[in-house]
Amino acid sequence: AFILDPATSTVTEPVVIGTKSCYPAQTPKVERLADCCFTTGILPREDGLVDLYSGVGDSDEGRITIDNPFVDVPAGQWYTDAVLWAYESGITTGADATHFNPGGTLVRQNMVTFLMRFAKTMGVDTSARADLSGYTEAGQILPYAMDAMQWAVKVGLIQGVTPTKLDPRGNSTRAQVATILYALEGKPENTANQFGDVAPTAWYYAPVNWCATNGIVVGTGNGNYEPQRDVTREELVTILRSYADYL
């Protein structure tokens, strides 16, 4: 799995989740395509493994069973499909080689990196870059997140918490994620309030309610959204999966 940036023709480091040799022998129509293998889906199984579906060669298809890449993402959880989708799509490679850390939170530079990778899979031009030298803690941005932070600031998806503070290590909230997706959609018309803890005067009122109306986010129970609560990794990939389905 990897991500192709159509604007620059660059790709992320590939993650091997299966090879053609794993599939039964196929006879291609065009010999030069004999070694091609195109992943088309990954589905969790009740036994903890996952089925990987692929197009093989130029005319066949196949399915193999592989280990779930993450030991902490068991089958049957509300977030399992979304985590495996994000892994297959190259949005995440996990907290490490075998763990996703589903209940972990994300700092702003982590969250924006997820979002930029997601945007690339949707064909969004992510080549824009902002000059972040005016922010006093720009040096705190890790190398892997620099392009994502520059892109997000340039296109107005995030802004500094003050004119000189970008807060790349600050935690990301459920309200911030909804606001970024709302901005990606061009800030469409507002919708009726669906949550008791989302005040009409709040800066996230329109984003949260638009996302909820379109099935991109859901509440946390008792009529609330908990906008200021830190978003977890399992929540973020589930929200992105729902947004991809909306698109």
Q: Give tens-digit pLDDT for 9-68.
A: 566 666 666 666 666 666 767 776 666 666 666 676 766 667 777 766 656 666 666 667
For residue 8, pLDDT beyond 90: no
Confidence of residue 6 (pLDDT cuts 50, 70, 90): very low
State the pTM of this model. 0.76
Between 184 and 26, the more confident residue is 184
Reported as type and span, the H/E element at residue 82 is: helix 80-88
d(CA 92, CA 114): 7
Token pair for 93: 């490679």
Of 10-19, 92-101, 112-121, 154-163, the one with minimum mean pLDDT is 10-19
**165 and 157 in contact (C-beta within 8 Å)?**
no
Instruction: Give mean pLDDT, residues 218-223.
Output: 95
Q: Which of 51-65, 82-96, 167-181, 212-226 has the lowest mean pLDDT?
A: 51-65
Judge contact between 184 and 157, C-beta under 8 A. yes
Confidence category of residue 69, pLDDT binned at 50, 70, 90 = confident
Residue 243 one-letter amino acid: Y
Closest CA to 52 of 17, 91, 26, 83: 17
